[in-house]
Structure 1
Amino acid sequence: MPVSYDTPEVLDRREGPYGEVVLRRHGGLLQIIANGCFLMDTSDGRSERLLVDAALTALDGRPAPHVLIGGLGVGFSLAHAAADPRWGRVTVVERERAVIDWHLDGPLAAISRPALADPRTAIVEADLIDYVNETSDTFDALCLDIDNGPAWTVTEGNDGLYSPAGLASCARLLRPGGVLAVWSAQPSPKFEGTLGNAGFQQVRTEEIPVARGVPDVVHLAVRPG
């Protein structure tokens, strides 16, 4: 029976270590659903692009910076970063094997194929929180886009990334003067305060205009030099 335009079509469904993840097509959009909760789709990408561009702008001309993108998602952040020759290296951390596969040889490859072919790009399969706590690598920018942001997490444990201890780990990964950029589905004045208390400087929030409702935002902060 043909699938109607308004009926989501499940393209893949997997049980992973963190629960169920689903890729589905709804009209012309691809959507990622985790444990029954909508996470993201391919409808826009403005906020993901702003996440990357705001971090690069805040680096103020630093040559060939290395950016860590936390969360592969539908690939907008990765594709945008790899399309900019000013980035020296682009490392993406993604914990869901299914999401990585959807980009390597699945429907999301249409977005990420050029970026994945770029020699500057590396994909790390790991939980972002574990990676941030354990890696010895350092970066010029951290662009974090997991869950729905600091004020509204739906995955158990993700709020730890936005805690004082999590932000201390982020600061450890950043080189002096490095930039932390955090996507959020809504503004969070409390998180701004947490960033300042964690020792970050130049804390600010950039909004992504929307037709209606609460705007997405990018929280920005700089590790002192």
Structure 2
Amino acid sequence: MIPWIQLDTADVPDGGGRLRLMRRGAEFSIMAGSTELMNSRLSGSEAALATMVCDRLRDRPAPHLLIGGLGMGFTLRAALAGLGPEARIVVAELVPAVVAWARGPLAEIFAGCLTDPRVDLCTADVGSLIRDGRAAFDAILLDVDNGPDGLTRAANGGLYDMTGLAAAKAALRPGGILAVWSSGPDPRFTQRLRKAGFAAEEARVRANGARGGARHLIWIATHPGVRPSAPALRRPA
């Protein structure tokens, strides 16, 4: 059996612990302690996070998306595949080493998506970008943890409490979408989404898509506002 080899480590800011980049043959894993956060063989649910959002944005000619968490790029790649040339995607990654891994040992997995002209990669806290936004985004996609319990970094919990949800709602355009990935269900988070005024749906997806794997959960929470319709064209006199 091929052993795992540790390629690098990285400290998560604000006392969020340490990440480890591991490789076994052609397989890669990013771990926080003994918990695997992502694996290069299991991309189905991360891709579904973007696919389900893009399917709901097809009527928007130039959607503006914010993705929280670069990971191994599966969500970003799926978003690029599902959006047209006028789309804009901001990716916020808190840990600089994760960006370096994407451009180094994981470059083949990213398949050049970081150089796509629609992508703006920021080494920043996605929470700050959300709080600074005012009706700036058509969708916010969060995959910064194993779910709304802030496992890898306590500060991430501020994305999922009532204050964080109010900030996300303010950063979305009318009819926009907040999508959140989780390794499992959290009924209390569903309740908070609805209390915050979102129309919340739960979608259960498999870690490896059609090939099965663990069951993960994605929340699709829609901003209750109605998107303004385009002004009617005047007929020439």
Q: TM-score, normalised by structure 2?
A: 0.84
Question: Larger deviation: 48-57 or 85-94?
Answer: 85-94
Aligned partner of 1:100 in structure 2 is 99
Tell me which amino acid in the other structure corresponds to 1:9: I
Mark the structure with the bigger radius of gyration.
2
Question: Larger deviation: 27-36 or 178-187?
Answer: 27-36
Give 3-state SS (helix, strand or coil) of 1:221's partner: strand
Deviation above 6 Å: which 4+ runs of structure 1?
none
- How far the C-alpha of 1:212 sits from its partner, in A, is 6.3
Matches within 5 A, 1:207-222: 207-209=204-206, 211=212, 215-222=215-222
Matches within 5 A, 1:1-225: 5=2, 7-17=3-13, 18-86=16-84, 88-104=87-103, 106-135=104-133, 138-151=136-149, 153-201=151-199, 203-209=200-206, 211=212, 215-225=215-225
- % same residue: 39
Q: Deviations over 1:14-71 (max 9, x none)?
A: 3453442221102431111234532111112110111001112223522121111110
CA 33–165 in structure 1, closer or farther in 2 if over 3 Å, else same: same
Gaps of 5+ in 1: none
Question: Larger deviation: 175-184 or 132-141?
Answer: 132-141
Aligned partner of 2:234 in structure 1 is none
Q: 1:151, 1:186 within 8 Å by CA — same for their partners in 2?
A: no
Mapped to 2, the partners of 1:119 and 1:20 lie a distance apart of 32
Q: Deviations over 1:138-158 (max 9, x none)?
A: 110111101111146242121
Mapped to 2, the partners of 1:137 and 1:110 lie a distance apart of 35
Aligned-residue RMSD, C-alpha: 2.0
Aligned length: 218
- How far the C-alpha of 1:161 sits from its partner, in A, is 0.8
Q: TM-score, normalised by structure 1?
A: 0.88
